[in-house]
Structure 1
Amino acid sequence: MSADFWAGYVSGAAGILIGNPLDLVKTRLQAGRASPTPDAAATTSPQPQSFRQQFDRAGTLVKGSTAPILGYGALNAILFVTYNRSLTLLGDSPALPTSFANIWCAGAAGGLASFVISAPTELIKCRAQVSTDQHASSWKIARDVWRKEGIRGLYYGGGITSVRDAVGYGFYFWSYEWSKQTMTSPDDTDRQTAMKVLLCGGLAGVVTWASIFPLDVIKTRVQTQGLHAPVYAESERETLLQQHSRVKTLSTFEVAKEAYRLEGARVFFRGLGICSVRAFVVNAVQWAVYEWMMRLLRQS
């Protein structure tokens, strides 16, 4: 395997380990509704709203992290390999690219390539984080989806995920290279370079999520809709069984339309604050680990 593959893999896994607790808060804020209506209650359970309430027990800190740790390592590896190869095909140098248009296009190509892993990983992660079942591990959710719907079920919400990834990673690499070329100079010491890489990586993460956050909210709601069934008295279950079997699964557009109708435009930015904090920390670490590993692997 190439150096950028392993550097991408390790940096992706490191980012998830650090950012999972904040990612859990972001996912629950996106998936939950502020004040569920009787109809909405059938598809979404109320989620705790305060920061402290999100962590109902110690295990919550790593809830849903198994799939991302394994998946995002591979995703990051594919992302960086595709980005570097695409940039080379466009006639630019991955080490020091000169065209920001080429950088954005190569990043978008990397995002589309990573969709193969990001779609099922995101679905399993979001359902694990939103689930109220304390025993709903990533493996159990993946197994249940596979048994009920096969490979198609694992890629549910894949369309909106691919658009989000292409747009997001285009801005991801564009903003990182722009800030890096603006801030760094050949005269910087190793310490200065390391600090600037952390800052540039953090800024790239914030810019990326700000550019695609409404798409991510829609994606989360598409992938978690219908996850929780309402609780009825024993006498009501038989009467309502047939009705529940005909519950309609909403399309991406219908999910977005319904969210806007119930909660207005602000719903598409719910959780952006906590996501920005997470994005800065995670991507600062990811880029620092990536740059460090690339230097290490090239030397060896």
Structure 2
Amino acid sequence: MDFLAGCIGGAAGVLVGHPFDTVKVRLQVQSVDRPLYRGTFHCFQSIIRQESVFGLYKGIGSPMMGLTFINAIVFGVQGNAMRQLGKDTPTNQFLAGAAAGAIQCVICCPMELAKTRMQMQGTGMRTSSTNKLYKNSLDCLTRIYKREGVRGVNRGMVTTLIRETPGFGVYFLAYDMLTRGLGCEPEDPYMIPKLLFAGGMAGIASWLSTYPVDVIKSRLQADGVGGVNRYSSIADCVRQSVDREGYMVFTRGLTSTLLRAFPVNAATFATVTLVLMYARAGDDCPKDCELAPPTQAPPTEQQAPPTQIQPSSL
């Protein structure tokens, strides 16, 4: 059930947040010498004016296919890791989230590579332009594989791993602490707004903890678009970026990312939590809504009734 809930939550998050992600990538990789966009809102306006509103959804095929599956892996692995760890503590929430983040990199890295290349193609041109390099995300990965092999498809894997492992640990830790602090109980009439707030803030905390790494990852994955490779390694990318743009380069696109992070993760976490709560409530009910036998022992402190399950434990 963790996997199914993750699928549904992932799809909801992609639909809400992809336009913000397109803006983030454009801002992160634009040339400092000839910048196309002055900031987040100017980037939004320029894309809509030059490429139509569909320009904001360039490359959505890759995350729609990938993130749905990735969220299934993330929430499935996190849920199973918590069960293996046994005790629901903040430390275990972080460790389970970190494990989930590391495992999903195998899919996340190629998916984000295709998304980045699709988002960068046709910059400043109408989406109907005929000189597209890639037809879709699958065609993009196929062409990269033919040109560069497995290594090319996994470009940016190290930076993805560095970003995702602690990022998802912070993600689940923040959500757990917020939902417990807010008292998100199933009978609370304000439970859904609280879940949305906790999910949104958990997403913001996760991005803030690893955002500089994401800037470098985007630059490495966009490197080579147009036929010119500028960076020979992660260290070279960091050095060139800092030398040319200063340390503020690590905040490129941060406004767009945080604007995206709140609604995306609010939708994702609230959807996953509600699906799991209702599914588990259904599993715990007696079959055919039968009343429990009167001789059944009352629940002990170690075995709480279903309505006492904390949604924060997912």
Report the TM-score, using the length of structure 2 for normalisation: 0.81
Whole-Å Cα distance in 1 between the matches of residues 173 and 8 of structure 2? 22
1:34, distance to aligned residue in structure 2 (A): 2.7
**Any unmatched runs of 5+ in structure 1?**
37-45, 230-243
Aligned with 2:256 (options 238, 251, 274): 274
| Equivalent residue number for residue 89 of structure 1 | 84
Whole-Å Cα distance in 2 between the matches of residues 111 and 203 of structure 1? 18
Whole-Å Cα distance in 2 between the matches of residues 270 and 188 of structure 1? 42
Say if 2:171 and 2:203, in contact at 8 Å, map to a contact too.
Answer: yes
Aligned with 1:78 (options 73, 77, 88): 73
Matched, 1:124 2:114: yes
Say if 1:31 and 1:221, in contact at 8 Å, map to a contact too.
Answer: yes
| Equivalent residue number for residue 160 of structure 2 | 161
- The one-letter amino acid of 1:171's match is V
> Closer, same or farther in 2 for the Cα pair 1:263/1:89, shift >3 Å?
same
Aligned with 1:107 (options 86, 89, 97): 97
Name the count of aligned residue pairs. 267
Say if 1:5 and 1:81, in contact at 8 Å, map to a contact too.
Answer: yes
Could you give the per-residue CA deviations for residues 251-280 of structure 1, whole angstroms, max 9, x where no partner exists? 011101110000001110111111111000
- The one-letter amino acid of 2:236's match is E
Matched, 1:291 2:273: yes
| Equivalent residue number for residue 306 of structure 2 | none
Whole-Å Cα distance in 2 between the matches of residues 132 and 253 of structure 1? 29
Say if 1:48 and 1:54, in contact at 8 Å, map to a contact too.
Answer: no
1:58, distance to aligned residue in structure 2 (A): 2.7
Report the TM-score, using the length of structure 1 for normalisation: 0.84
| Equivalent residue number for residue 292 of structure 2 | none
Aligned with 2:37 (options 48, 57, 63): 48
Whole-Å Cα distance in 2 between the matches of residues 148 and 248 of structure 1? 17
Say if 1:222 and 1:250, in contact at 8 Å, map to a contact too.
Answer: no
1:228, distance to aligned residue in structure 2 (A): 1.9
| Equivalent residue number for residue 60 of structure 1 | 55
1:143, distance to aligned residue in structure 2 (A): 1.8
> Closer, same or farther in 2 for the Cα pair 1:253/1:58, shift >3 Å?
same
Whole-Å Cα distance in 2 between the matches of residues 256 and 88 of structure 1? 39
Could you give the per-residue CA deviations for residues 8-47 of structure 1, whole angstroms, max 9, x where no partner exists? 01111110111001110011111113325xxxxxxxxx54
**Any unmatched runs of 5+ in structure 2?**
284-314
1:296, distance to aligned residue in structure 2 (A): 3.5
1:152, distance to aligned residue in structure 2 (A): 2.2
Whole-Å Cα distance in 2 between the matches of residues 109 and 28 of structure 1? 30
SS at match of 2:190: helix
